[in-house]
Chain A
């Protein structure tokens, strides 16, 4: 650990990883009005997760990512199915009230936002899983 090359990345990560996580949520939430959204946010979040594990292989995500991707699909499906209970067709957008969030401003709540959150979860889970599996694979071959 005395080698500065070995300690620089971990030190940077302590700062960068949380920032990326916050950024990903910010991108997700502002997506309806400005560049961003669930897909982009999910990729950023996945990068954060991978970076964290890259620095310290023992710090793998605690949740099973495949299960998480299924959960994301369910969230998306739930948002699509909600209008059915109000007598409207599948995937009709339902809109509710507005809330105010720092840095984002006014955010209108509705099923499309929930759907985007589902997309965010699926993309995060799958992208992170692919990279982590490959990473683990290359590590085991090293040993």
Chain B
């Protein structure tokens, strides 16, 4: 099977989703749609077991730039593709059940499956530009999913924040990738490793690396860009479980891993990537420990794990790389499970506040089992996968060439806090007597089974780590050029310092859990420095931008037609006069042909009409006089042999007069609308514009830098375009593209005028498209610049 099916299949499912949801209802539709990602996961797993060679596929896209639609599914890609498709299938089942009472469930499936396709594309793409396209698609679909409850102001705000942060990072990434392409002349990612020496030596390397990291750090929520991730918890929980723990936020880590063969062999890489990762690792857990909302606890602990992954990739050695691969998989399992548990609890009790939840084991025993198993894996208790990954993590830190003890100590602190968080989220709500929040609806099997499956895998696979190592983890490390034999995945490493650290972590974590109320001071401390936090800086930056935009709009778009015209004419005249100052040619009258009788009369007529328009006492008279000027121009066109122009001018002039006469009778008397001073100013502006126009026409008669093309066009029009009317041939054949643009503008203008004049009717439709918000008593913000009448 060709690799492109990995991306195409979810897209097809996305298209089919609304029909399936309508036919079967969200719950069953989720199960049916889950078949697609499960099929992908099964296929990948089969290839992984048989150790199939990397599958590649490519199709020319922009051959002139050397950009192909290139996909590659090797050992590394298989690991992450499996993670995304497998958890994606579970999320489909879970989401269907979670949203079964929600009328918009079809929208969820459409976007989630689109997101899945984009995410699988980020992993499988073997072309830098293609990777970027998929990367942006994940940002966009994430925006739609975070803002799923679009009627909720907070959700819209969170969605916009996630989009602005990740899309800004996306731009930075694009610039970085383009620099990388410029250095190597290569857009294939698998070919970049061969250029690593060239990349490191290039003067463009530092900007390229910084720009790429800008994209990676924003996407993977590294400090100081971490704040969008907890905000994104406004999304429905199935979305958080999928995008914001297992998949999208790992896109940065994945890209970092993909580029690490090409870029990690430099000092700068380690000096930037590892410290940022370490700082994020610590920040995440410290911010998490005092939270009381289940999803925020999980979100901040996800930030911490993302930091750990980035830090490991920053170390750049084979051991750390393999550990990162393993940790990414393990984290996907336990964090996905815990998010789903949190969602089910929220759904059943209506609250996510840990302080008002307890004794849930009695009403939801299976969920309790899943929660406990996932919490054990998160804490790193043997024999879970989490234990193995934590051992490897400590070993990686202890084998650093320097500062190993302090790094390991920081690691113990972060992991101990993670243990406490795991206990708060996964164990605490299920123990004790009945809590203050009772279970109102009992969750269906679709909301219990997926977390149970994920948590069980985290336990069961811990018993056979060698299998996981052989099938998924080692091939992933090997494919990126790292030696997989350095790290062994086993449950028992013997009595080593690492084991001691694990035990200390667990004990410390339990102690923190028991005294968790003491950490409330952290929340107060963060509140105290609130204006300095990245999220506050983001917010004030955004507010400032909006204020500046509003100010600028008020200043430029003031709505006074007279001033608009004045500014337009003055600016145009000024530019023309400046241009004339420098242009070649002269103003001599020598080459001018003296005007004949007919032309003189027409010009005279025109002048009389213009003056009459000025002194006219009524509007109608003024309009008619202006029409007279227009008709005179048409006569001039006739005199100089341009019948097409003359006809057009006559028609347009006629229609303008008609149009004016519709409007004008409603307007106030001429005498009332302007003072003498204003008129003098208008007169000056008109004189300047007229002078500029006259000068430019005068001068252009003398300027001929190239041969005239008229003769050529006249010759061609009969022989090649079968037409004798050159004007028309130019319009519909030689310069037809221009005409196309013009009629497009014309049609748009028609649309605009219609919309403006029929504003009242249209606005009332825009304001309440579903007709439900008025009933819900919620006010929707309408663009403040569109004033309702």
Is B643 a contact partner of A66 (Cβ separation < 8 A)? no
Is B751 a contact partner of A37 (Cβ separation < 8 A)? no
Task: Give every chain B residue within 8 A of A65 (Cβ-Cβ).
Answer: 750
Residue of B with least CB distance to A141: B666
Distance in Å from the Cβ of A24 to the closest Cβ of chain B?
A: 10
- Known contacts being A32-B723, A69-B747, is A40 close to B654, with CB within 8 Å? no
Is A110 a contact partner of B747 (Cβ separation < 8 A)? no
Considering only residues 63-89 of chain A, those with a C-beta below 8 Å from chain B are: 65-66, 69-70, 72-73, 76-77, 80
- Known contacts being A34-B724, A66-B751, is A131 close to B648, with CB within 8 Å? no
Is B743 a contact partner of A112 (Cβ separation < 8 A)? no
Q: Which of A33, A38, A72, A141 has the most CB of B within 10 A?
A: A33
Is B662 a contact partner of A37 (Cβ separation < 8 A)? no
Report how far A44 CA is from B655 CA in the complex, Å: 10
Q: CB within 8 A of B746: which of A27, A112, A122, A138?
A: A122
Is B662 a contact partner of A138 (Cβ separation < 8 A)? yes
Is B731 a contact partner of A37 (Cβ separation < 8 A)? yes
Report how far A34 CA is from B740 CA in the complex, Å: 22
Report how far A77 CA is from B639 CA in the complex, Å: 36
Report whether over half of chain A's contact residues are helix, strand or loop; otherwise say mixed: helix
Interface segment out of the listed B8-16, B89-97, B132-140, B753-761? B753-761
Task: Give every chain B residue within 8 A of A36 (Cβ-Cβ).
Answer: 644, 647, 725, 728
Q: With an 8 A cutoff between CB atoms, is A43 at the interface?
A: yes
Task: Give every chain A residue within 8 A of B724 (Cβ-Cβ).
Answer: 32-34
Q: With an 8 A cutoff between CB atoms, is B732 at the interface?
A: yes
Q: With an 8 A cutoff between CB atoms, is B583 at the interface?
A: no
Is A37 a contact partner of B747 (Cβ separation < 8 A)? no
Is B754 a contact partner of A112 (Cβ separation < 8 A)? no
- Known contacts being A35-B644, A37-B725, is A138 close to B736, with CB within 8 Å? no
Report how far A91 CA is from B729 CA in the complex, Å: 13
Distance in Å from the Cβ of B460 to the closest Cβ of chain A?
A: 57
Task: Give every chain A residue within 8 A of B658 (Cβ-Cβ).
Answer: 50, 131
Distance in Å from the Cβ of A71 to the closest Cβ of chain B?
A: 10
As a 0/1 sequence over residues 35 to 65 of chain B, the CB contacts with chain A under 8 angstroms (1 = contact) are 0000000000000000000000000000000
Is B648 a contact partner of A40 (Cβ separation < 8 A)? yes
Residue of B with least CB distance to A135: B662
- Known contacts being A32-B729, A36-B728, A73-B747, is A129 close to B740, with CB within 8 Å? no
As a 0/1 sequence over residues 721 to 740 of chain B, the CB contacts with chain A under 8 angstroms (1 = contact) are 11111011101110011011
Task: Give every chain A residue within 8 A of B654 (Cβ-Cβ).
Answer: 47
- Known contacts being A91-B737, A126-B749, is A43 close to B652, with CB within 8 Å? yes
As a 0/1 sequence over residues 101 to 143 of chain A, the CB contacts with chain B under 8 angstroms (1 = contact) are 0000000101011011011001101110111011101100100
Q: With an 8 A cutoff between CB atoms, is B663 at the interface?
A: yes
Residue of A with least CB distance to B743: A122
Considering only residues 603-650 of chain B, those with a C-beta below 8 Å from chain A are: 643-644, 647-648
Is B750 a contact partner of A112 (Cβ separation < 8 A)? no
Report how far A46 CA is from B643 CA in the complex, Å: 20
Is B754 a contact partner of A66 (Cβ separation < 8 A)? yes
- Known contacts being A38-B732, A44-B651, A46-B655, is A70 close to B723, with CB within 8 Å? no
Q: Which of B's residues lie within 8 Å of A, judged by CB?
A: 643-644, 647-648, 651-652, 654-655, 658-659, 662-663, 665-666, 721-725, 727-729, 731-733, 736-737, 739-740, 743-744, 746-747, 749-751, 753-754, 757-758
Q: List 5 A-B contacts (CB under 8 A).
A: A40-B651, A91-B737, A115-B740, A116-B728, A123-B743
- In the complex, besides A91-B737, A115-B732, A134-B663, 17 extra interface pairs with C-beta distance below 8 angstroms are A32-B724, A32-B725, A32-B732, A34-B724, A37-B644, A37-B731, A39-B731, A40-B644, A50-B655, A50-B658, A93-B733, A112-B732, A115-B736, A115-B739, A126-B750, A129-B750, A134-B757
